[in-house]
Structure 1
Amino acid sequence: MTWINQIIQGVLLGGYYALIACGLSFLFSVMRIINLAHGSLAVLAAYALFWLADRFGVSPILGLVAVLPAMAILGWLLQKTILERSARSGRLVPVLSTFGLAIVIDNLLFQAYGADTRSLAPFVGSLSYDSFDLSDDVSLGTLALITFVTAVAMLGGLQLFLTRTPLGRAIRATAEDPDTVGLLGINAGRVNAVAMSIAMVTVGVAGFFMAVRATFAPYAGAAQLLFAFESAVIGGVGSLWGTLIGGIVLGVAQSLGAQLHPQGFLIAGHLTFLAVVLARLTLAARGGRLRAWIGGAR
């Protein structure tokens, strides 16, 4: 039963990774931008919630009412002032711009709060450590379960939004051909700004769960970006449901790795990521040779 418990814990952990990766995957699917400031922005949201809780006594859950709209506005401004302009210079410049943005955010947070770690756990009562037993050997953390359900709801909601709403279809059309949609009366710049705002709302939610389940510091964004990136790549970059699958695969690998060896938690996750990347590269190479052979036979 120990292995079953580890797998279940890994699946729940995968929900957190999928939640962290949600905005990264969404932004790439609709704008083809890899946001290297993704983790730092989640940490920024966590500090905003901490500031409200520490300074004014506002519960972090209620603090989301203020922080999520603020993150949406920040996303709109970032798109209009940085990403939209840098995108005109090629695909690499937006990536470099978000890398620079991450450095700025990390250092500003360090100047404001120092290197001490913080957490929102003291402000949410017993939520961070509450659990219930499924059996004598299997126990589920309440926060982990809420995180997983939130990840499924968020990814499912985004998928329905993109496929069932006029704005969602406009976002998808803009992602496919931003020049042609202008002929249909769609403002590509405005649509991309809305998409960035939506992505930033998901980042704010991820920052909340990150800060409640563990401690965070100004330079914690890099680790969160790594987990998000690995989850998105394992599940297929740009696929929202694939992001959930990728997060679960990463979480289960880490959980089982920790069971095998004390140092196996991160190593197992990284090895799984590398194995998936190598497998895809191998299949792509074989597929290319097969298509070339079929073309030669014709």
Structure 2
Amino acid sequence: MNWMNQIVQGVLLGGYYALLACGLSFMFGVMRIINLAHGSLAVLAAYGVFLLAEKYELSPFWGMLLAMPAMGAIGWILQRLVLERSRRSGELVPILATFGLAVILDNSMFSAFGADTRSLAPYIDTLAYDGFDVGDITIGYLPLLIFVCAVLLLGGLHIALGYTGLGRQIRAVADDPSTAELVGVNSRAVNGMAAAISMAAVAIAGTFLAMRATVDAYSGAPQLIFAFEAVMIGGAGSLWGTLAGGIALGVAQSVSAQVHSQGFLIGGHVLFLVVMLVRMALNGRSLRAVLTGRH
């Protein structure tokens, strides 16, 4: 039993989960909104790239570059027409609104594409399955590419938030939108840009999802669960935490699958539950310390 190989495979799988969770983490960190349509929007992007590859014989990588601004526009519209208006009615309403959007997207894609699964693997030649060996460890080219893209995307967003004008505006609006407005920041426009960036990241994740696996109209819900668990394990709103959470989730699933044939999903869910219970216990302890006057 090669445990090191399983850990490496888990780390590479975690790169996909981090990439998938990037848009969800970014939107939550800026707008404090949990987008329950996140997985369905990733599947929508995957279908869009698939159609470009099937009808126009366009490379999925070129298709991804086209899908990014298209999904960015969808994100901007989503912010203006749905998220911004629903937030005025309370914190719960945006969650319900995005849940409704997910249902609409899933059923619409089912009506348009049916129940058949789709994949971009036939359009990327041997990249879908080829790899190389490092001792007893096998590394696939596609999982490695996905991991590198996850690091570059999360790192790029982290740098952009810290060293660009738009990034500073996004952080200001995330911290205190009212004060940001007082110093001339258009919080509405900034939130629209943040939503567009989140959806552009979703386009990348959706494309790689269809490259590494098959998708159908109802694939969004499992992807949302994986993304949400990665975000919460690593710490909501933290980009590097999202990468760490994705890797932890991937390693837990990979190692659990080696222990038991049914352990792939269970291992990740157990890790998520343990992390949540530990955080609840620590928060409860901190609260008791405050209430009793102990430091």
> What stretches of structure 1 of length at least 5 have no aligned partner?
none
Q: 3-state SS of the aligned residue for 2:177?
A: coil
> What stretches of structure 2 of length at least 5 have no aligned partner?
none
Q: For 2:275 and 2:179, how far apart are their aligned partners in 1?
A: 36
Q: Does 1:17 align with 2:23?
A: no
Q: For 1:259 and 1:91, how far apart are their aligned partners in 2?
A: 41
Per the alignment, residue 34 of structure 1 pairs with 34
Q: 3-state SS of the aligned residue for 1:238?
A: coil
Q: Per-residue deviation at 1:133? A: 0.4
Q: For 1:55 and 1:167, how far apart are their aligned partners in 2?
A: 37
Per the alignment, residue 200 of structure 1 pairs with 199
Per the alignment, residue 271 of structure 2 pairs with 272
Q: Does 1:240 align with 2:260?
A: no
Q: For 1:13 and 1:221, how far apart are their aligned partners in 2?
A: 18
Q: Per-residue deviation at 1:181? A: 1.4
Bigger drift between 255-264 and 286-295 goes to: 286-295
Per the alignment, residue 129 of structure 2 pairs with 129
Q: 3-state SS of the aligned residue for 1:127?
A: helix
Q: For 1:261 and 1:286, how far apart are their aligned partners in 2?
A: 35
Letter in 2 for 1:282: A
Letter in 2 for 1:12: L
Letter in 2 for 1:243: T
Bigger drift between 25-34 and 1-10 goes to: 1-10
Q: Does 1:165 align with 2:164?
A: yes
Q: Does 1:81 align with 2:81?
A: yes
Q: How does 1:227-266 map to 2 (within 5 A)?
A: 227-266=226-265
TM-score, scaled relative to structure 2? 0.98
Q: For 1:68 and 1:12, how far apart are their aligned partners in 2?
A: 23
Q: 3-state SS of the aligned residue for 2:139?
A: strand
TM-score, scaled relative to structure 1? 0.97
Q: For 1:65 and 1:252, how far apart are their aligned partners in 2?
A: 30
Q: How does 1:120-159 map to 2 (within 5 A)?
A: 120-135=120-135, 137-159=136-158
Q: Does 1:110 align with 2:110?
A: yes
Q: For 2:65 and 2:23, how far apart are their aligned partners in 1?
A: 19
Q: For 1:176 and 1:272, how far apart are their aligned partners in 2?
A: 30
Per the alignment, residue 219 of structure 1 pairs with 218
Letter in 1 for 2:144: L
Q: For 2:151 and 2:65, how far apart are their aligned partners in 1?
A: 21
Q: 3-state SS of the aligned residue for 2:128?
A: coil
Q: For 1:186 and 1:291, how far apart are their aligned partners in 2?
A: 36
Q: 3-state SS of the aligned residue for 2:227?
A: helix
Q: Per-residue deviation at 1:287? A: 1.4
Per the alignment, residue 188 of structure 1 pairs with 187
Q: For 1:108 and 1:173, how far apart are their aligned partners in 2?
A: 37
- Alignment size in residue pairs: 295
Q: Per-residue deviation at 1:65? A: 2.4
Letter in 1 for 2:122: P
Q: 3-state SS of the aligned residue for 2:33?
A: coil
Q: Per-residue deviation at 1:185? A: 1.2
Q: Per-residue deviation at 1:57? A: 0.9
Q: For 1:288 and 1:83, how far apart are their aligned partners in 2?
A: 32
Q: Percent identity?
A: 59
Q: Per-residue deviation at 1:182? A: 1.4
Per the alignment, residue 91 of structure 1 pairs with 91
Q: For 1:16 and 1:101, how far apart are their aligned partners in 2?
A: 24
Q: For 2:121 and 2:114, how far apart are their aligned partners in 1?
A: 19
Q: For 2:181 and 2:264, how far apart are their aligned partners in 1?
A: 48
How large is the RMSD of aligned CA atoms in angstroms?
1.0
Q: For 1:92 and 1:289, how far apart are their aligned partners in 2?
A: 28
Deviations 1:117-162 (A, max 9, x none): 0100001111110110001x21101000011110010000010111
Q: How does 1:51-66 map to 2 (within 5 A)?
A: 51-66=51-66
Q: For 2:183 and 2:287, how far apart are their aligned partners in 1?
A: 36
Q: Does 1:50 align with 2:50?
A: yes
Q: Per-residue deviation at 1:175? A: 1.1
Deviations 1:213-262 (A, max 9, x none): 00000000000000000000000011110001111111111001000000
Q: Per-residue deviation at 1:183? A: 1.3
Bigger drift between 58-67 and 239-248 goes to: 58-67
